[in-house]
Amino acid sequence: MNPRVESVFPKSENYTLLVRFTNREERQFDVKPYLDKGFFRELQDRAYFNAVRVALGSIEWPNG
């Protein structure tokens, strides 16, 4: 079974996410390489970036 996201902590100063999974692993995801592509562009707004949340074992922002 694949681990699910348990919590997410945004670090907007460097556009990374600290993601904790149900199997107790923690991973850091660097979003910077995607900020100039498609719908990821709206994440350049730090307030919006910080609005990330856990949803159905994954992560999402208010616009999905």
Structure tokens at 28: 């850091």
Q: Which pLDDT value is given to residue 37?
A: 96
Q: Which pLDDT value is given to residue 5?
A: 98
The CA-atom distances, in angstroms, between 25 and each of 7, 30, 42 are 11, 16, 28
Residue 14 lies in a domain: yes
Query: How many domains does the chain fold into?
Result: 1
Residue 63 lies in a domain: no
Q: For every one of its 64 residues, what pLDDT tens digit does the chain have, with 9 covering 90 and above?
A: 799 999 999 999 999 999 999 999 999 999 999 999 998 999 999 999 999 999 999 999 998 8
Residue 62 lies in a domain: no
Residue 64 lies in a domain: no
Given the structure tokens 């670090």, which residue do they identify?
11
Identify the sign of the CA torsion 36, 55, 63, 15.
negative
Task: Count H helices and E strands in the chain, helices first.
Answer: 1, 5
